[in-house]
Structures are given as structure tokens and as C-alpha cells.
């Protein structure tokens, strides 16, 4: 179990991951990662909630586990769409639903292929910072964004698409065709995390309107705080 006295102070300026890139101007996608070195992190168990577990790392950041045992941040974000907004994406609301009901077995290739899928796309990044592939235009946000607490989601329903282990386990590492290849590159670039099935209202802990003037946030003690400007 987690012992706060054993967690060291945050080490500012020391990256967890160093990536080496090969750049070729003549290519359509000139920047390719050719090697990656990652510092091994330590995690301590904090508490359990149903079948999910909360962990803290050696920098004091909180994580949960995805289906493949991959650690993902406890809180992630989503740029919501028109359907989400109509349904009611605020904390303690009806939650979010994917375009298609989930079946017995998750097929990540369905989502990567661009078809309607039983997955909801989220990101480990700040949703407001997502851009297109050449970083010249921001994507999403015209309907607002939400913050999701993955502690409320079963690990069997969480898939980190940016992680190599997940890509290998679902045969996505070597995509066939330009469309699938671009989709996988986009998943890595946007740090995509997929949630299989519904996201319940109690997992949504913050809503920010498209213009940023309305914020609805769920506090740690379960109270709703609404801010308008």
C-alpha cells in the first residue's frame, strides 16, 4: 500500500521519456521515432474502487490501470461532440455513449479503421491542445470539453492506444494501408485513450463550455460547483 513518506519530492526538469527522431523532408510524414528510452517509474497502491485501483507514482501523480496492465493518468479529457452536448455532458448527468453498442469482445481495429464503433475517444493531453498532424490547426472544442475520472471506469474497458503494448496485443503495430497507418499515427500524436462502452455521469468530474465561460466541476466531497463569466 501507499506510504506517503516514501514518495520523494518531484524531480523537475528530469524527463520520464527521451525519444530520438529521424527527420526526412522529402517524406509526407517526415518525422519518425526511431528509438525511445523510458525511465522506470515506481507506483504505490493508494486505494481500490470496485475493480479499479488508484496508484501514485514517484512524482506524486495519480494513475489507474488499463486493460493490458498499462498505467494511464487517473484523469483524462475529451473534446465533446454535438451528440454529447445534447445528451448532457456535465458531472452527475446521464454520461456519454459511443456511436455503437459494445459487443462481447473489443475490436480496436474497428475504431482505428474509422467506422462507427463502441469506443469513446479521450486523450491524456489537454484536450484544448490537440492539433492536426502538422500542428497548424487546433482540433475539436467547438462543443466544449470534459474531464473524466478513470477510477470510475473498469480497467477492462480502458485501452491506451498510444502505448506499444496495447498496439501489439491487438495487432495494430504494423497497420496495413495508408488510412490505418495514419489513424495509428494520429492515436499516438493525440495520446488517445479509448473507453469501451458508456462513460457514466459520475465519472465526469468537469465540464467546460466551448467559450470557456461556463465551468461545472465536481469536488472531491461530491459537491457541484458552477462558475460563469
Q: What is the pTM of this model?
A: 0.81
Question: Is 51 part of any domain?
Answer: no
- Tell me how many domains the chain contains: 1
Q: Which helix (H) or strand (E) holds 228?
A: strand 224-228
Domain carrying residue 211:
73-228
Report, as an integer, the average pLDDT of 77-93.
96
For the stretch 8-27, pLDDT in tens is: 444 444 455 555 555 555 55
Question: Is 25 part of any domain?
Answer: no
Question: Is 118 part of any domain?
Answer: yes
Q: Which three cell numbers stand for residue 197?
A: 462502452
133 C-beta neighbours (distance < 10 Å), count: 15
Question: Is 152 part of any domain?
Answer: yes
Q: Which helix (H) or strand (E) holds 21?
A: strand 17-23
Question: Is 191 part of any domain?
Answer: yes
Report, as an integer, the average pLDDT of 169-193.
83
Q: What residues have CB less than 8 Å from 178, skipping those under 6 apart? A: none
CA distance 190 to 210: 20
- Under 8 Å between Cβ of 62 and 73: yes
Q: Give CA separation, 12 vs 8, 9, 15, 59, in Å.
A: 12, 9, 8, 9
For the stretch 101-137, pLDDT in tens is: 888 778 777 776 566 889 999 999 999 999 888 888 8
CA distance 56 to 223: 24
Question: Is 56 part of any domain?
Answer: no
Question: Is 40 part of any domain?
Answer: no
- Under 8 Å between Cβ of 107 and 98: no
Question: Is 58 part of any domain?
Answer: no
For the chain, what is the mean pLDDT?
A: 85
Amino acid at each position: 500500500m501507499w506510504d506517503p513518506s516514501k514518495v520523494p519530492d518531484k524531480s523537475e526538469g528530469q524527463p520520464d521519456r527521451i525519444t530520438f527522431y529521424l527527420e526526412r523532408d522529402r517524406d509526407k510524414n517526415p518525422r519518425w521515432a526511431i528509438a525511445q528510452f523510458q525511465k522506470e517509474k515506481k507506483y504505490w497502491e493508494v486505494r481500490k474502487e470496485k475493480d479499479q485501483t488508484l496508484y501514485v507514482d514517484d512524482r506524486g501523480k495519480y494513475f489507474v490501470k488499463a486493460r493490458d496492465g498499462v498505467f494511464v493518468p487517473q484523469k483524462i479529457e475529451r473534446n465533446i461532440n454535438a451528440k454529447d452536448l445534447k445528451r448532457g455532458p456535465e458531472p452527475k448527468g446521464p454520461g456519454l455513449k459511443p456511436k455503437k453498442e459494445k459487443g462481447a469482445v473489443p475490436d480496436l481495429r474497428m475504431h482505428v479503421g474509422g467506422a462507427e464503433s463502441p469506443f469513446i475517444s479521450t486523450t491524456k493531453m489537454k484536450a484544448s491542445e490537440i492539433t492536426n498532424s502538422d500542428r497548424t490547426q487546433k482540433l475539436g472544442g467547438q462543443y466544449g470539453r470534459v474531464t473524466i475520472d478513470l477510477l470510475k471506469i473498469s480497467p477492462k474497458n480502458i485501452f491506451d492506444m498510444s502505448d506499444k503494448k496495447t498496439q501489439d496485443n491487438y495487432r495494430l503495430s504494423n497497420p496495413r494501408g495508408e488510412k490505418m497507418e495514419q489513424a495509428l499515427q494520429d492515436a499516438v500524436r493525440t495520446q488517445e485513450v479509448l473507453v469501451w462502452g458508456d462513460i457514466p455521469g459520475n465519472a465526469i468530474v468537469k465540464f467546460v463550455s466551448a467559450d470557456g465561460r461556463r465551468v461545472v466541476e465536481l469536488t472531491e466531497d461530491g459537491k457541484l460547483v458552477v462558475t460563469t463569466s
